């Protein structure tokens, strides 16, 4: 009986990753924090049209430096996912969000009117001043985001 030769896992030298020619101007996303799972929400318009946006967009949570900011409650919190989720599910926040409904006139663009001269674009997760609002909605980046929200809705399967 011959003993089967012990298989030694081949030790492969770790291939040195060839870093792409780094142009010094494009050093973004190098020290990004761990990716959070992105939660999505479905928004159904009165017309029956469906859009899927990220939960943070829907809830008006912006990231600003080391903080999360809720545009509706006008409150800031430490950049901690648990903290953020707790805020989003708080009754107080939910009530406040409800008091800023999507403006009918802007339909699928999901614009909420904030206090003062600001509007919030749920599609893009940005605050836009009234002055720039129409320009924003007609802009390429908003159009792209909107298209993505529509496309996601076509593939969206709610968690059962
Ligand atoms: Zn809030
Ligand atoms: Zn937008």
User: Among all ligands shown, which has an atom nearest to the Cα of 128?
Assistant: 2
Nearest bound ligand to the CA of residue 111:
2
| pLDDT value of residue 25 | 47
- Tell me what the mean pLDDT of segment 47-74 comes to: 96
Q: Is residue 144 assigned to a domain?
A: yes
Query: Which residue, chain included where needed, has tokens 């929200």?
Result: 149
Specify the higher pLDDT residue, 67 or 29: 67
Residue 34 to residue 38: CA distance in whole angstroms: 12
Tell me whether residue 128 is in a domain. Answer: yes
- For residue 41, the cross-strand partners are 53
What local confidence, expressed as pLDDT, does residue 138 receive? 98
Q: Is residue 15 part of a domain?
A: no
> What residues are neighbours of ligand 1 (ion), with CB under 5 Å?
70, 72-73, 93
- Helices (H) and strands (E) in the chain — how many of each? 5, 8
Kindly state the average pLDDT of the residues 8-25. Answer: 52
Q: Are residues 111 and 137 in contact, defined by beta-carbon separation less than 8 angstroms? A: yes
* Count of the separate structural domains present in the chain: 1
Residues within 5 Å of ion ligand 2, judged at the Cβ atom: 121, 123-124, 142
> Which pLDDT does position 159 carry in this prediction?
59
Structural domain range at position 83: 40-155
Please give the distance, rounded to the nearest whole angstrom, from the Cα atom of residue 32 to the centre of ligand 1: 25
What pLDDT is recorded for position 51? 97
Distances (CA, A) of 126 to 3, 14, 34, 37, 91: 67, 43, 22, 20, 23
Residue bearing tokens 């969000």: 97
Is 26 contained in some domain?
Answer: no
In a domain, 102, yes or no: yes
Whole-Å CA distances, 86 to 32, 54, 82, 89, 147: 23, 16, 6, 5, 30
Does a structural domain hold residue 3? Answer: no
Model confidence over 64-96: pLDDT tens digits? 899 999 999 999 999 999 999 999 999 999 999
Classify residue 55: in a domain, yes or no.
yes
Distance 84 CA to ligand 1 centre (A): 9
Q: Residue 23: inside a domain, yes or no? A: no
Give the pLDDT band (50/70/90) at residue 120: very high
Whether pLDDT at 26 is above 70: no
Q: What's the farthest any 2 CA atoms get from each other in the chain?
A: 87
């Amino acid at each position: 009986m011959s003993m089967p030769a012990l298989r030694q896992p081949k030790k492969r030298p770790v291939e040195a990753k060839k870093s792409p020619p780094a142009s010094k101007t494009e050093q973004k996303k190098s020290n990004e924090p761990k990716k959070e799972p992105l939660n999505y929400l479905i928004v159904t318009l009165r017309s029956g049209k469906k859009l899927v946006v990220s939960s943070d967009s829907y809830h008006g949570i912006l990231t600003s430096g080391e903080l999360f900011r809720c545009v509706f409650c006008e409150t800031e919190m430490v950049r901690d996912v648990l903290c953020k989720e707790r805020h989003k599910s708080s009754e107080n926040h939910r009530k406040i969000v409800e008091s800023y409904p999507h403006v009918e006139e802007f339909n699928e663009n999901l614009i909420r009117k904030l206090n003062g001269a600001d509007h919030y674009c749920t599609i893009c997760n940005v605050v836009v001043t009234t002055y720039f609002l129409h320009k924003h909605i007609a802009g390429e980046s908003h159009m792209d985001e909107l298209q993505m929200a529509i496309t996601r809705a076509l593939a969206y399967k709610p968690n059962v």
